[in-house]
Amino acid sequence: MTARPSLVLRDVAFAHDDHVVFASLNLHLSAGWHGLVGPNGAGKTTLLRLVTGELSADAGSLQAAPSDALIVHCTQGVDTCDDDILSLARRDDGDAFRVRGELLLEPAELARWGTLSPGERRRWQIGAALAREPDVLLLDEPEGHLDLAGRELLIGALARFRGVGVVVSHDRALLDALTTVTLGVEGGDVRVYPGAWSAAAETGRSALYATLKLASLPAPKAAATRERSPSRT
């Protein structure tokens, strides 16, 4: 990973059919975690897919530093035990041991991948992403299927990441604990505000406040059901 990773979008435009998602988007993101929030359908996942190159902008440019920056996107679904997950399980270097330890990942678990819970698979997916040491890491609702303990493990592991991080989340506790910048998506644009969810909401009486209200972020629950692996039959 470069010492100064960054992600710059200049005048990016993108439309889906006749619907304009982004008109002329400009962003300059430096190292650290950014919380990406907004109403459903505003374009949060579309923005992540533009950054990875899965979607091509209709106009404008996207540039990550360094020029050979590694960009990793953890999508919501984790069905396959892919090569990156297998690599994390097999590696015996210090970084791999650290990531597995932080997320309580046991390599022997992969022998029963088909019976692992969605939350367990999610931890393996994100652990594998961290082990690759990307310059840019994009997470789409990483808290999905994780219980309270799993979310705490996740936050601890992600806090060590030193690249450019962007996380789409509906978990206020995760946003407040992890992010230092809030990106509010609405109306074909992304507005940048300092601070995590709570700090950004307090600055509001502005378009940001309306955006965050529309996002309908749920308050963290005091207790959560422990994740379970499906029972074998």
Instruction: Give CA–CA dist 126/73, Å, rounded.
Output: 9
pLDDT in tens, the chain (233 residues): 656 899 999 999 999 988 999 999 999 999 999 999 988 888 999 999 999 999 999 999 999 999 999 999 999 989 999 999 999 999 999 999 999 999 999 999 999 999 999 999 999 999 999 999 999 999 999 988 888 899 999 999 999 999 999 999 988 889 999 999 999 998 889 989 889 988 877 765 556 666 666 555 555 444 343 344 443 33
Instruction: Give CA–CA dist 43/224, Å, rounded.
Output: 29
Phi and psi (nearest 5°) for 209? -60, -40
Peptide bond into 66 cis (omega under 30): yes
Domain 6-214 CATH assignment equals 3.40.309.10 = no
Peptide bond into 142 cis (omega under 30): no
Instruction: Give CA–CA dist 12/82, Å, rounded.
Output: 32
- The single-letter DSSP state of residue 232 is P
